[in-house]
A and B are shown apart, each in its own frame.
Chain A
């Protein structure tokens, strides 16, 4: 798992590349746990190169979602592959989290 960051004044974009499982999810958790992330308005997760996600990866997002909402930080996923989106859908997480098709859609949220 490789995570590439791009930040503007209001938005932090994390591009995930690889497989997010019980072995690699700690890396993402570290990024999402940084205090400065709560000072941004929006965290965009670019999933184009995310080839796999297990419960450990989902758990990282689940565990930070309330903190983000309390801090008025929007968490938005985009460019998600169908097989990865399906994993969110199996649990109904697509109704608890914001998943949009493209970066333009994510920016507009």
Chain B
């Protein structure tokens, strides 16, 4: 099963993506907590692409695809711009330090990495694709 949606880079479309992922997972007999985790992981990546990679330029678009095959849930977020994000440089932040200095951002990818089994970024030509995978027994 694969479903897809295209959105413009406006943060109001985060809700559209969340609803799309939720509807795509309906009927998979997943718990409400797990569905929320998967929605959250996609939401975080999409928010990064919208806000950071595309500076909320509504002329830019993202494609989001959901694939369910046996017990593997795959999510692809494709951005038609080259990525400046380097997952190789990612280091899990110290939350106590974030609290101490009053930092607002920086925990989104921490959530994504803790929720998903695999997080992959690739750039092909001018396109950047983030792939998220979760396998359930």
Contacts and interface: CB of A to CB of B under 8 A. Distances in A.
A92 B111 CA distance: 11
A101 interface: no
A92 B94 CA distance: 11
A90 B47 CA distance: 19
B104 A62 contact: yes
What is the interface residue range for chain B against chain A?
Answer: 20 to 34
> Is chain B's interface secondary structure helix, strand, loop, or mixed overall?
helix
> Is chain A's interface secondary structure helix, strand, loop, or mixed overall?
helix
Contact of A21 (B43, B104, B106): B43
Interface stretch (B12-20, B61-69, B119-127): B12-20
B114 to A, nearest CB: 5
A91 B95 CA distance: 8
A92 B114 CA distance: 11
A60 B33 contact: no
Contacts of B105: 55-56, 59
Contacts of B96: 96
Interface of B: 11-12, 14-15, 18, 32-33, 36-37, 39-40, 43-44, 47, 50-51, 95-96, 98-108, 110-111, 114-115
Interface of A: 19, 21-23, 29, 52, 54-56, 58-60, 62-67, 82-84, 86-87, 90-93, 96
